[in-house]
Structure formats: structure tokens, C-alpha cells
Amino acid sequence: MTRPHTHYLLRLAGMYLVLAAVILAPAVAEPTPALTPAPAPAPAPTPAVTPALTLAPATPAEHTITMQSNEGFRIAQKKNREWYQEGPWPLVGSVVAILITNTIAIGVIFLQSSRSFNALLRQRRIEFLSSSLNDFYNPLLALIEINGEIFGKTGPITFPEEHNAREAAALVWREMKKKIIENNRSIELILRTKTHLMHKSDSLDAYKALLIHVAMYETFQRIETDRYFGFLFPNEVQGHIVAKRLSVLDEFHALCGEKI
């Protein structure tokens, strides 16, 4: 799963925790019925106040006005609602809807991520098998087969008995050995730098005899000795390479459906 998907899932988990806390909180109290003031009755008439006249010095008349209020209040009737419209049920319904929607979204994201990840692994495996063929088994097998052809057609076992023809064949062989030595150096380079491309069922132990042979062959061309016969080419290595190459080809074909 990619990093944006992980961040999204973490944020979604935090939201689920908040929603769960809200659900577990005490139910919200029923709202207090609204009080609607009743129409006020008409105020009683205020009796007229006549200022008293006395012989005393004239003083300002005092007037007293009294206002009385007798407003009544009336409780509005509660509207009838369905059970799912009251109490915590609207909140619960919203939470459930969010949970279902996000669960489906998570499932879709998980499936898409899994398919993308599996496709990426498959593509990388195909690339590895292709490199295994092109950079290890194919060139290694080709170099060994070329050396075998050169040795089988120009080597000492092909020298004629006639003296002049034998000398000519020896000159040809002397030049062809240079090509074998060059190929041996390429084989040694592959075995020293490309063994990480071997098939999972292969091992370096199967190539030790070949590596020793190509390393010693050039030395024995400069110094002729009978010890050379202890480091002859291991014929079983070629069959091993052919078998492992076929294993790589079979797996490659199973993954991409193409034959090389």
C-alpha cells in the first residue's frame, strides 16, 4: 500500500475514534418546550386623578400612575415525531452511514493497492528473469559452446599425421587458442560479477570447476606441464547451464506468456 493510502487510513481511523466517543456520550437531553406568551388582556381603565385645591400656598400637584400587567403564558404542544427522529438516533444513523461509506472506500483502496503491488512484483520478476537470460545464462552458454566448437575443429585432436599439414594445423590452432583465452576471460568475468542473476535453484558451487579451468588454462598455455590434465574442462557444467536456462525460460513464459 502506498504512503498516501496509509495516511488516508490513519486519518480515517482517527475520525472513527471521534465518532465512537460521540456515540458513547450521554444522550442529549430533551429540549425544553417553548413558552409562547398569550395575548395580553386589555388594560383596565385608570381612574382619573383630580388634584385637591386648598388654601395653602400653591404647590405642584402630584400625580401617581399605576400600571398593572397580567400577561399569561401558554405551553406549545410537542410535535409528534417518529422514534428515529428523536434522541441520539439521528446521530447514530449519520455515524453508521459514514462508517459504511468509508468501509467500502477502504475495501476498494485495499483491492487496488494489492493489485498494483502484485503487478509491480510480477513486472520486477519478469525483468529479473530477462536479465538472468541475457546477462548470465545465454552469454555463458554461448561462450562455452564456441570454445567447444573451436577446440573440436582446430584442436590437437584434429591434427593430421602428415608433417607439413600437421605444422599448418598447429599454426591455426595457435591463433585459435587466443580466441579461446579471450572467451575464457569473458566467462571468468561473468562468474565473478553476474552470479546474482542466477536462478533461485542454482548455486555457485556448480561453477567452481569451470572457474578454475578458465583461470588455469591461460597459465598452462605459457607453461606446458602434465598438471594441465588435472584442470580439464568440466563437461557436466554445460548440461547444468542448459537445465537452469530452461528453468528460467519456463518461469519467464509462465509470467508473461512469451517465448524467447
Q: Is the pLDDT of residue 94 over 70?
A: yes
Residues in the chain: 260
CB neighbour list of residue 44: distance below 8 Å, 6 or more residues apart: 68
Structural domain includes residue 149:
yes
For the record, the C-alpha cell of 94 comes out as 449519520
Q: Which of 5-19, 113-127, 141-155, 198-212 has the lowest mean pLDDT?
A: 5-19
pLDDT band at 109 (very low <50, low <70, confident <90, very high): confident
Q: Is the pLDDT of residue 88 over 60?
A: yes
Structural domain includes residue 236:
yes
pLDDT value of residue 56: 45
Number of domains in the chain: 1
Structural domain includes residue 37:
no
Closest CA to 244 of 207, 190, 193: 207
Residue with cell 417553548: 34
Q: Which of 125-134, 146-155, 158-167, 192-201 has the lowest mean pLDDT?
A: 158-167
CB 157, CB 207: distance < 8 Å: no
DSSP codes, 121-150: HHHHHHHHHHHHIIIIIHHHHHHHHHHHHH
Mean pLDDT to the nearest integer, 44-56? 46
Structural domain includes residue 77:
no
Structural domain includes residue 83:
no
Closest CA to 218 of 256, 255, 243, 188: 188
> How far is it, in rounded angstroms, from Cα 122 to Cα 117?
9
Q: Is the pLDDT of residue 234 over 80?
A: yes
Q: Is the pLDDT of residue 34 over 90?
A: no
Mean pLDDT to the nearest integer, 243-254? 94
Structural domain includes residue 212:
yes
For the record, the C-alpha cell of 35 comes out as 413558552
Report which listed range, 10-14, 41-45, 86-90, 127-131, is most confident: 127-131
Range of the domain at 212: 128-256
Structural domain includes residue 142:
yes
Structural domain includes residue 160:
yes
Euclidean distance between the first and the last CA atom of the chain, given in angstroms as a whole number = 33
**Angle at 186 (CA atoms; ends 221, 131), nearest 5 degrees:** 160
> In this prediction, what percent of the chain has a pLDDT beyond 90?
38
